[in-house]
Structure 1
């Protein structure tokens, strides 16, 4: 199979959640910013950056949570020369790449038009891109690991949305301890303790790597996949 054809196939297998989630998230964020009833550019800028920090990671996380368990006959995948976990990693890469196709240009437009700088806690045009990169990778890693452990896209997606909602609606409780602050997803637009932002973003990136590695280990246990397929 030619490389381009292979990646096109993996994009189709990733599903509609992966393809439609990012553009819908950004469209809803733009609509919310346009309808913002609060005065001042800072509040609108917060909504725009919040779209990248909140809506885009949720869309990517739910999409990655749906990657495992989509194949109707896993035993056939396991007989392929390409290991099944590598196939799923390709689909995760497609999902994250597609997310970046929308989130990256959106961030560039915000920087170019000055809206990025109108939020006081923007952390700059370059390093500030961790505003969306870190939580997107963090939630995506959590979704992928949950899918590998549960073998249920529904259960994994529910875990991702629950984690997102807890941090969204109980921000104060989530930030009461330093571990909670380091794993807080919305440190740019919802705030964090002074000097914790960089550590927070790096912690999310580290968590993303660790959770993805956990998923790869779990998916490497072919006997477990076959047993659950039979069930």
Structure 2
């Protein structure tokens, strides 16, 4: 099993491992600079988990999980390609979440966490796990959308562009859209950083996670489309 996992990591490339590490290193370096300038770090550090780790994980999935340099051979093997692709997706998600959980211990120990209003009324245990649930829910959403969009567009660049567009719209316009259109609340991806005062924070996190879970079977079904996979490989 270890040999198989190592092989899949080699096929996907080292960026699967190094992108989250590079993101964390960049945030730590920038945090030291902000600390030197006397800026409060709580919101900045929390944005790394909720704003940046999910989009980075989604882009890795969009560019790695459904691509294979020997796809034609993979599709003729006894082990179905959709099982291989889901294994790769699971590796990407597991590494990003495990690394994120490990790094999240640092701001907790240094008391540099930024809490939404709903979590401020809970104990320390609830605050820690609530914050982790926040970015994990958003990560699952981006992973599911990345998988589905990469299979529908058959293009790594197009699916990455879709994720980037969603990310920008969420940061710049989503707060106003949610205030005027209540049915968009389940699609509000970054409430901890953008609107920590909302009264439906926990409900939103559960809805975002549920949306991601619902989209995963769609991606699983699209992975069975052998013709679409081959077209995507030829177009790339």
TM-score normalised according to structure 1 size:
0.88
**Shift of residue 167, structure 1, vs aligned partner:** 0.8
Q: Of 32, 35, 39, which residue of structure 1 is paired with 2:33?
A: 35
Instruction: Provide Cα deviations, 1:139-196, integer angstroms capped at 9, x if missing partner.
Output: 1111111111112111111111111111122243342322323211111111156331
* Aligned 1:11-22 pairs, distance under 5 A: 11-22=9-20
Tell me what 1:75 maps to: 72
Long gaps (5+) in structure 1: none
Instruction: Provide Cα deviations, 1:14-51, integer angstroms capped at 9, x if missing partner.
Output: 234422221122222223322337756xx411111111
Q: Of 145, 148, 156, which residue of structure 1 is paired with 2:148?
A: 145
Q: Does residue 150 of structure 2 align to residue 162 of structure 1? A: no
Q: Distance in 1 between matches of 2:96 and 2:216?
A: 17
SS in 1 for 2:204: helix
Aligned partners of 1:141 and 1:209 also within 8 Å: yes
Distance 1:4 1:122, change over 3 A: farther
Q: Distance in 2 between matches of 1:143 and 1:226?
A: 18
Distance 1:102 1:69, change over 3 A: closer
**Shift of residue 213, structure 1, vs aligned partner:** 1.1
Tell me what 1:216 maps to: 220
TM-score normalised according to structure 2 size:
0.86
Q: Distance in 2 between matches of 1:32 and 1:174?
A: 31
Distance 1:68 1:51, change over 3 A: closer
Tell me what 1:188 maps to: 192
Q: Distance in 1 between matches of 2:118 and 2:54?
A: 17
Tell me what 1:91 maps to: 88
Q: Distance in 1 between matches of 2:13 and 2:184?
A: 32
Pairwise CA RMSD of aligned residues? 2.2
**Shift of residue 108, structure 1, vs aligned partner:** 1.8
Tell me what 1:64 maps to: 61
Long gaps (5+) in structure 2: 120-126
Aligned partners of 1:14 and 1:95 also within 8 Å: no
